[in-house]
Amino acid sequence: MKKYLLLLLPLVLVLSQCKQKEISAGKQTARYISQQTTDTVIKVLATKFGDSQKARIEKGINQAAALWTEKDGRDADFKALCLKYFVGDPAKLELLFNRMTGNFEQLFGHYNLINLAMKWAVHIDIGEALDADEIFGAWDPASHFNDDFFANKIAFITCMNFPFYTLAEKEDLGPKWSRKDWAYARLGDMFTARIPAEVSQKVSDALSSADNYISNYNIYMGNLVDEKGKTHFAKDMKLLSHWNLRDELKANYNQGDEGLLKQKLVYNVMLHIIDQSIPDSVINNPKFQWDPVTNKMFKDGKEVTFVAEPDKRYAIFLNNFKALKAVDQYTPLYPTYILRSFDGGMEIRQEQVEKLFTDFCSSPEVKKVGELITKRLGRPLQPFDIWYDGFKARSSMNQDELDRITRAKYPDPKAYEADIPNMLIKLGFKPDKAKEIASHITVDPARGSGHAWGAQMKGDKAHLRTRIAKTGMDYKGYNIAVHEMGHNVEQTISLYMVDNYMMMGVPNTAFTEALAFIFQKRDLFLLGKKDNDPNKEDMAALDQFWMSYEIMGVSLLDMAVWKWLYENPDATKAQLKEKVISTAKDVWNKYYAEVLGVKDCPLLAIYSHMIDNPLYLPNYPVGHLIDFQIDQYLKGKNFADEIQRIYSAGRLIPQLWMKNAVGSEISIKPILDATDKALVTIK
């Protein structure tokens, strides 16, 4: 999971690629600089630098004028700034670009270092968590960046010399642009809105609070009991909602009747979290026993009364919405967080993403794969079978044996870190390149389930966070670590192997998720466990299909709820809870009920990302599609060489990046075709 900077930077450096005609909401202030002054400046500069510069002059000066306010000075001050700082000579423009990007790399890199330090006690298992840790973690060192750089006029100098281009323009012009053109355009994306520092800080506060809530939402599984008071999980097992609960559910597919019983207990825990009927006292608390089927709580074997969690899950969701909505009035080009997330952040329109998902979930392959899973399980499907894990190679392997291997191999974070070069060599990286990439990655023990945090300047390291018990890294932790290592490898390649800083990264987070998934699928290979199954490619296609099906429904729910919130901005937490649950049931009934045999199931609402990472979820299924296309392309090619080539392309727009990577745009067709083929082979 790439989280904080991906959420916070778009608020500070709002990426603006939507068309002017899409500005339909938000409070917009009247333009302060007169059109007459703007036209005069354009005429003077065009006369000085010639017709070859006229289009850039018109675009840049108009954009600078639109951002100028009364506090920045009078018309004469604007004119003087433009005439002094507009650069018409191409060589000097390149020099200005290099100077700016060098300075921005230092700024963003050190902002990132400070963010890491302030959130260290929140994210890293360094002992007892203190109340003050959350306050430090919520502070955003970049919150004044926008204000400061408009005040010192660097923002205006940037946009007048490096104007931004709409998404439509990038789609039209991008294929013909040089790498320098792309880098100039990415610098032009930087200053397109003026968000007050206090507004950015409130967003940071809200997201940090949500992250802290989710990171500490543990269920003590050894305290779960059935109707006879019997426990079924290890006494010291403590699982996060929802990641660890889901992974524990997956791990029990080859455990017979006992495994099914455990899955039902986990499922009922999830339902109580969703509707907030869970006893508040069993959250992150080992002092009580709880029967999640009957929803009864016990103390030393005797039933005790309890107070349910007071809709805190939805209060935090609502708090995120309000904080992010407060940004709307300062981003007239993107007057909703939905537009900022998709048109701005993903650079794929929300409607296009939604159509990919609905077309996929409506495909005839869904029912066919569901029927195949029913046969393989030998029972009717249950709602929690959206996480069916039986197409993976590890699903036939003993979980305890895998735990034994990983605990022995990785007793602590440093052992995993030391093995990264060896794992990269196994994947085909040359020893010197494997050592180089690994030298930029460090491993930390996470309080939560794990995430990846990339560097933002050369010389800094990417951080891999995963949960490691005192007994060593269990297989679940290892599997997560390999996923996060994929993020770290992307973060390193797209920082150190990209030709300039403004092209650093990937088009959107779906592309880093894609490489994380590609790595994660090779976790058993990295352990030295070979899969000699002749049907492994077909099994992998079915596994990818079912994972995509599951997460697309969750993403459809997330998008629908955000649309509803914008239509009902004064909703209460109780109303939001009701809407989330009812919409979850609606999506379920439309795309899942027929396959999984149960109507009105709210299970899709369990995902923690809805709470602590607003509108991040759609990146996962898009990432699955990208992952599948890249993985198909990699067949017969050198894995390491191709990964370096593909991910060193940097921040092109998504469809152009995909064409450069594999020769075609993002599509559901490759995975549907592979699923059809697999359904013929796998019985």
What is the tens place of the pLDDT at every residue in 439-460?
A: 999 999 888 777 899 999 999 9
Question: How many domains does the chain fold into?
Answer: 4
CA 637/CA 632 separation, integer angstroms: 10
Burial label, 273 (beta-carbon count in 10 A; 0-12, 13-18, 19+) = buried
Tell me: do 185 and 218 sit in the same domain.
no
Flag whether 138 is in a domain: yes
Task: Find tokens 């109707």 and name the residue.
Answer: 227
Tell me: do 50 and 17 sit in the same domain.
yes
DSSP 380: -
Flag whether 45 is in a domain: yes
Segments of the chain scoring below 50 in pLDDT: 1-29
Q: How far apart are the first and last CA of the chain?
A: 35
Tell me: do 297 and 437 sit in the same domain.
no
Does residue 21 sit in helix, strand or coil? helix
Write down which residue in 164, 199, 234 finishes a domain.
Answer: 199
Per-residue pLDDT, 536? 86
Query: Which domain does 93 fall in, by range?
Result: 4-199
pTM: 0.81
Tell me: do 505 and 542 sit in the same domain.
no
Tell me: do 576 and 493 sit in the same domain.
no
Tell me: do 568 and 592 sit in the same domain.
yes
Check whether the bond before 487 is cis (ω within 30° of 0).
no
Write down which residue in 497, 526, 555 finishes a domain.
Answer: 526
Flag whether 301 is in a domain: yes
Instruction: Please name which of 590, 516, 579 lies closest in space to residue 547, comparing C-alpha atoms.
Output: 516
Does residue 575 sit in helix, strand or coil? helix
Q: Render 35-67 in DSSP notation, one character per residue.
A: HHHHHHHHHHHHHHH-GGGHHHHHHHHHHHHHH
* Order of strands across the sheet that contains 289-291: 289-291, 296-299, 302-304
Measured CA angle at 502 (ends 500, 506), to 5 deg: 100
Write down which residue in 134, 165, 199 finishes a domain.
Answer: 199
In the chain, the amino acid numbered 110 is: H
Flag whether 208 is in a domain: no
The tokens describing 131, both together, are: 């109340």
Tell me: do 573 and 676 sit in the same domain.
yes
Measured CA angle at 522 (ends 521, 523), to 5 deg: 95
CA 226/CA 224 separation, integer angstroms: 7
Per-residue pLDDT, 243? 85
Q: What DSSP element (H or E) covers 375? A: helix 364-377
Tell me: do 166 and 241 sit in the same domain.
no
Tell me: do 192 and 287 sit in the same domain.
no
Flag whether 340 is in a domain: no
Flag whether 226 is in a domain: yes
Tell me: do 375 and 227 sit in the same domain.
no
The answer for residues whose C-beta is within 8 angstroms of residue 5's C-beta and 6 or more apart is 112, 115, 453, 454, 456
Backbone angles phi, psi at 595, to 5 degrees: -80, -40
Per-residue pLDDT, 677? 96
- Name residue 445's beta-bridge partners: 466
pLDDT tens, 187-211? 999 998 888 889 988 999 999 999 9
Instruction: Please name which of 143, 119, 113, 127 lies closest in space to residue 451, comparing C-alpha atoms.
Output: 119
Tell me: do 564 and 515 sit in the same domain.
no
Per-residue pLDDT, 419? 98
Per-residue pLDDT, 11? 35
Per-residue pLDDT, 671? 97
The tokens describing 286, both together, are: 């080992």
Flag whether 437 is in a domain: yes
Flag whether 153 is in a domain: yes
In the chain, the amino acid numbered 124 is: I
Per-residue pLDDT, 67? 92
CA 270/CA 606 separation, integer angstroms: 6
Tell me: do 37 and 149 sit in the same domain.
yes
